[in-house]
Chains A and B, each alone.
Chain A
Amino acid sequence: MSKKLKKRIKRVGIGAVIYFVAVVFSRFAPCFYIGDLSISTALFIFLAAYLIIGGDVVKNALRNIGQKQVFDENFLMAVATVGAFFVGEYAEAVAVMLFYQVGECFQSYAVNKSRKSIADLMDIRPDYANVMRNGIVEEVNPEEVAIGEAILVKPGERIPLDGTVIKGNSSLDTMALTGESLPRDVMEGEAVISGCVNLSGVIEVRVLKNYGESTVAKILDLVENASGKKSEAEHFITKFARYYTPVVVGLAALLAVVPPLAAGGGWGEWIYRALSFLVISCPCALVISIPLSFFGGLGGAGRAGILIKGSNYLEALADAEVIVMDKTGTLTKGVFAVRKIVPSEGVDEKELLETAAYAENFSNHPISRSLLQAYGGEIDDARLKEVEEVAGYGIRAILDGHHILAGNSKLMESRGVDADAVEENGTVVHVARGEEYLGYIVIADEVKDDAKEAVDGFKEAGMKHIVMLTGDRKKTADSIAGELGIAEVYAELLPGDKVEQVEKLLAAKSEKGRLVFVGDGINDAPVLARADIGVAMGGLGSDAAIEAADVVIMTDEPSKIVKAMQISKKTLGIVKQNIVFAIGVKVLVLLLAAIGIASMWAAVFADVGVAVIAILNAMRAMK
């Protein structure tokens, strides 16, 4: 709680005590036969309470008139309460001011609290870096560390800059970045990302990016600027507030003057009603609670590892109607791995894999890497001779004096090896030794664990089209789409074709509906930009994705998009509730006040009470 707020609460508290004394006194004074004196004494005590509670409001109002800034809330409250004094409603005048102040204090408190909780959420800024210079460890500002320098990260410290581990092993807490609670293990040679907390061992890191380019700085920048892009709802409220207050004040003026002139008399009653109008005329409840809801929604999403670049995107997600996903890297892991090993009769599985691994040893192709990874053993170069890559076919080599072959069926055919005819999704590597066929190995990408869950979630959310795009072969695409339950598949697309396909889908969707494109941020930047909402997967460490997309999913989970849509819908639900509730109550109380049923007490509720309830409701968006 800020000092200013504490002081204000204290002052209002003292004023409240005096106010109650005044109420009691004015109630019971006549019993003591003080007579006329009691009225002026009561007025005096009420005035004292009023000035202690609302002196600053009156002061601000006067100052604003000097600045030609009428129609602000200070002015309205001052006129309403001073007016109440003049029509003889002392107790109500002070009460209105008291409740107004209590409401203001509460608003300040709520706003500060949500400001702080968002700040905590994004408390990933590293304070220092332990840089190693000339054999000495120095503690410096992360911004002063140059690329190529080595830094030391001790357990419990935050990694200040992106880099590669050059010494030591540890596990990292990536919670603040990804919302993922399982620690991630890192070893020598692996990349680490700034913002993670080092949990177990001391590691030395070679810095690859300066602070401004590091992940942590980019994320902070993104989050801090997110609420700057305002939503339609926020624009609506700003516009509404611009007209609402002058209109209500105008109505109040008419109400104070016209009926008494027409009916001849009853000035006090109509002025009282007009003053109630002034109390309700501030649009505070809406003006604070709507941005607060969006802010909370953005914060809640951030905590789940979903970075949304603006309130407008959070709002648009609720209207998603078409979801278009790239296959590789989004629905599948984008990593090739050995899926199947099928040896010929009499051949050992291990022998088949070993032969293939030796043949592919010198290649850097992802297929070769995955074979070596599956083999896992050491490769003894001395056993291998005359390795030769036959482009478009595979590899020929001599292993332990025998000719070996690893490649497609055409390679086998050309060497007179009788290979099996294989119908498999993915890449098939046939292996032969001399003329003997050893069998084949299937290498394929793998569907992500939660891809099915994500697709089901989209269906449940009522997406009209769920579309998969891929540059991959039609057969592979159909098989994965079938597994996940996606009906619309467009395969064998070049990057340009993807844009064209998205254009077609954009033209076909309804006017209000939004098209969401999900990609891994690698060479689909044009599509990300063309879609209504571009979502990039696996934002950790990929600058391209963070730049190009409107929403960045920090983890590799497509199901997070479903979560983002849920957060969006919940936030918009809260926003709508607040708009309807606040405007509804205000209009109702305005009507009741006009016909003389609602007192100034009801007006205070319509102003302060509604604001408090709307703020409490808005704070739900954060959870």
Chain B
Amino acid sequence: MRKTYILEDLDCAHCAAEIEAAVGKLDGVISSSVTFLTQKLVVEVEDAKAGKITKEIKKTVKKYEPDVEVVEK
């Protein structure tokens, strides 16, 4: 299934690329795409893992950019 998050206060383009790559490597994530300009993270997740993935994503984003707030849409 597809999930969309807003990465509030994301203002470093390089980190956006790093977040995209790191989220893509999370268990259960099929594909991930961060659009720097719309501050959007779109992930394709295996249905079975979808429940826990939001927490995992929040943890990953915090690791790269502690100032960014992850909001599920």
Contact = CB atoms under 8 A, between A and B. Distances in A.
Interface of A: 2, 4, 63, 67, 69, 72-73, 107-108, 111, 114-115, 118, 224-225, 227-228, 230, 238, 241, 282-284, 287-288, 291-292, 295
B9 to A, nearest CB: 7
A459 to B, nearest CB: 35
B40 A118 contact: no
Contacts of B66: 63
B50 interface: no
A411 B33 CA distance: 65
Contacts of A287: 13-14, 17
B14 A69 contact: no
B37 interface: yes
19 contacts: A72-B18, A73-B12, A107-B11, A111-B11, A118-B37, A224-B38, A228-B33, A228-B35, A228-B42, A230-B33, A238-B17, A241-B14, A283-B14, A284-B13, A284-B14, A287-B13, A287-B17, A288-B13, A288-B36
Contacts of A63: 66
A494 B63 CA distance: 58
Contacts of A4: 9
A72 B15 contact: yes
Interface string B10-46: 0111110110000000000000010111111010000
B14 A73 contact: yes
A118 B18 CA distance: 25
A151 B14 CA distance: 47
Interface residues of B, number: 19
B14 A111 contact: no
Interface core residue of B11, B40, B66 (most chain A CB under 10 Å) = B11
* Interface majority SS (helix, strand, loop, mixed), chain B: mixed
Nearest to B36: A291
B14 A67 contact: no
A479 B39 CA distance: 52
A118 B35 CA distance: 14
Contact of A108 (B11, B37, B38, B42): B11
A67 to B, nearest CB: 5
A69 B40 CA distance: 22
Interface of B: 9, 11-15, 17-18, 33, 35-40, 42, 63-64, 66
A4 to B, nearest CB: 7
A295 B40 CA distance: 14
Contacts of B37: 111, 114-115, 118, 227, 291-292, 295
3 shortest A-B CB distances, which residue pairs?
A287-B13, A288-B13, A295-B37
Nearest to A2: B9
Given A67-B63, A69-B64, A224 B40 contact: yes
Contacts of A284: 13-14
B4 to A, nearest CB: 9
Contacts of B12: 73
A72 B38 CA distance: 22
Contact of A227 (B14, B15, B35): B35
A615 B9 CA distance: 19
Interface core residue of A230, A288, A295 (most chain B CB under 10 Å) = A288
Given A67-B63, A72-B14, 6 more contacts: A2-B9, A63-B66, A115-B39, A224-B38, A284-B13, A284-B14
Contacts of A108: 11
A230 B32 CA distance: 12
A225 B14 CA distance: 20
Contacts of A283: 14
Nearest to B22: A69
B26 to A, nearest CB: 16
Contacts of B36: 111, 288, 291
A282 B33 contact: no
Contacts of A230: 33
A232 B58 CA distance: 29
A241 B21 CA distance: 13
A227 B11 contact: no
A284 B12 CA distance: 8
